[in-house]
Amino acid sequence: MREIEGRLFDFRPFGPRDPEESHRAATPLELFFDLVIVIAVASAAEELHHGIAHGHAAEAVPIFLLAFAAIWWAWMNYSWFASAYDNDGPIYRLLSFWIMGGALLLAASIPRFYEGLEITLPVIAYVVMRIGMVALWLIAGRNDPKHRSTAYRYAGGIALAQVFWVLLALHGQPGTLEFTALIVLGWLTEFAVPVYAERAARTPWHNDHIVERYGLLEIIMLGEILLAGSLALARGGEEIALASPFLHIALAALVIALSMWWLYFSREDHLRVHTENVGLHFVWGYGHVVPFAGTAAVGAGFAVLVDVVAGKAEIPLRAGDIAVGLPLAAYMAGLWFVRDRFVLRGPARHILLVFAALVLLAAFVLPAALELMALFSALSVFTRSALATSQRRRDKGAPAP
């Protein structure tokens, strides 16, 4: 009994992890944390799906972006902290559970946020998550003298931002220009905290671990697209003919999801090229909000298409195609922004921007838009891979294929 109690109350110091640690991988707790975060993302995407399907895209899209930003920002802050200070002790686990509880509360509050920009419950949920981060940074600062100033800057900056959100929830008037401006100010404050804190001393995050954490979140969110594809098959009934639009949606969802996976997990390193440039760390870390949000929105777009084909939507088929095409193009452009423009040269460097434009052309103008978007997604994989391989061969002095 004493041995069990000793393990339970093994209060380990939050000393810094070794940024050069070999074989550093995501922990079961981090994977559990990702699962909870994706539940919140799925809640936001579901509301986006219903908003677009009922002809309210102009209202639903900005609200989705705000909700997604809150979820993603909490995930990102936690993941970078864990890369530097995860000690898997009981206090760390309990504070992680606290943040996860806040994420679930945020997921439950999103429908109310969509209904009338009611921000009280979402702000409460978000503040709950951020209080957990303040506690983590305070403990880290106490146990890591070398990075104490950085940790306390994080804690103070996060706390100040939460005071701002609480005041906005109490006194803001949703729907006004002033309210919108204050939301922008609040997010600028949030985004400025890591920039300010890291100027004191860079936290000892682990390059390969962070890259893996981002990749794992992308994989989980790609599951939302596959889920929409399976929903299409379920809606099609027991017998689905080759000409069935539900089968076309399911196949397109599969091709696009696999292509998005391949584009993300290319042979080129995501972050290694940025290791010595602190500014590019922020470009990579912050810039991922675009491909991540794009992935979640593509899943919502396919759900919209299922509703359109099933006759349960109030928009035409072209609008459903656009609901898939716009976030898919954003995903490609986002990967170009955070990775390809740094690691590729020549024609390969901008190939994702070319295919993003082709996807938009198909979504807005061309017939058989969904099938063409799936085709362009697959072609983007093969074209980019061929050009990148040629570049690697030239760099090694071997003849190009």
Q: At what angle do helices 148-171 and 120-143 cross, to 10 degrees?
A: 170
Residue-wise pLDDT for 236-279, tens only, equals: 665 566 678 888 999 999 999 999 999 999 988 777 655 566 67
Q: Which residues contact 5 (CB under 8 A, 6 or more apart)?
A: none
Q: What residue numbers bound the domain in which 247 lies?
A: 207-392
64 and 173 part of one domain: yes
Domain end point (choices 198, 221, 255): 198
pLDDT tens, position by position, 67-86: 999 999 999 999 999 999 99
Which is nearest to 89 in space by CA: 51, 142, 136, 128?
A: 136
Q: Is residue 386 part of a domain?
A: yes
Question: Residue 2's pLDDT is what?
Answer: 41
**pLDDT tens-digit readout, 172-199:** 888 788 988 999 999 999 999 999 999 9
Residue 162: half-sphere exposure toward Cβ, Cα within 13 Å: 19
Q: Which residue has the higher pLDDT, 6 or 394?
A: 394
385 in the same domain as 363: yes
Domain boundary among 153, 168, 198: 198
Q: Is 240 in the same domain as 294?
A: yes
Mean pLDDT on 297-302: 96
Report d(CA 274, CA 263) in Å as an integer.
Answer: 19
Among residues 198, 224, 258, the one where a domain terminates is 198
**How confident is residue 231, by pLDDT bands cut at 50, 70 and 90?**
confident
pLDDT, one tens digit per residue, over 102-126 is 999 998 988 888 876 778 888 999 9
- Rounded to an integer, the average pLDDT of 148-152 is 95
**Alpha-carbon span 255 to 230, nearest angstrom:** 13
pLDDT of residue 85: 93
395 burial (CB, 10 Å; 0-12 / 13-18 / 19+) is exposed
Q: Is there a domain that residue 1 lies in?
A: no
What pLDDT was estimated at residue 236?
A: 66
Structural domain contains residue 374: yes
| Better pLDDT: 353 or 5 | 353
* Residues 55 and 163 reside in one and the same domain: yes
Whether 9 maps to a domain, the answer reads no
Under the banding of pLDDT at 50, 70 and 90, the label for residue 6 is very low
How many CB atoms are located within 10 Å of the residue 3 CB? 7
pLDDT for position 132: 96
pLDDT-derived band of residue 141, with 50, 70 and 90 as boundaries?
A: very high
Do residues 45 and 164 both lie within one domain?
Answer: yes
Question: Are 174 and 219 in the same domain?
Answer: no
User: Does residue 94 sit in the same domain as residue 113?
Assistant: yes
Which of 17-21, 221-225, 306-310, 325-329 reaches the highest mean pLDDT? 325-329
Confidence (pLDDT) at 172 = 83
Do 169 and 223 belong together in one domain?
A: no
The pLDDT value given to residue 249: 93
Per the model's pLDDT, the better-predicted residue between 132 and 116 turns out to be: 132
172 shares a domain with 50: yes
Distance from the first to the final alpha carbon of the chain: 66
Average pLDDT of span 54-70: 91
**Per-residue confidence band for 3, with pLDDT thresholds at 50, 70 and 90:** very low
Asked whether residue 398 is assigned to any structural domain, the reply reads no
Which residue would you say has higher pLDDT here, 345 or 128?
A: 128
CATH of the domain at 343: 1.20.1410
**pLDDT confidence band for 1 (50 / 70 / 90):** very low
pLDDT score of 399 more than 80:
no
**Cβ density class 348-375: b for 16+ within 10 Å, e for less:** bbebbbbbbebbbbbbeeeeebbbbbbb
How many domains, in total, are found in the chain?
2
pLDDT at 5: 42
DSSP state of 27: -
- Percent of all residues in the chain with a pLDDT value above 70, rounded to a whole number: 91
Does 397 fall in a domain? no
Residue 399 within a domain:
no
Distance CA 39, CA 107 (A): 7
Between the CA atoms of 382, 387, 389 and 393, what dihedral angle is there, to the nearest 10 degrees?
A: 160
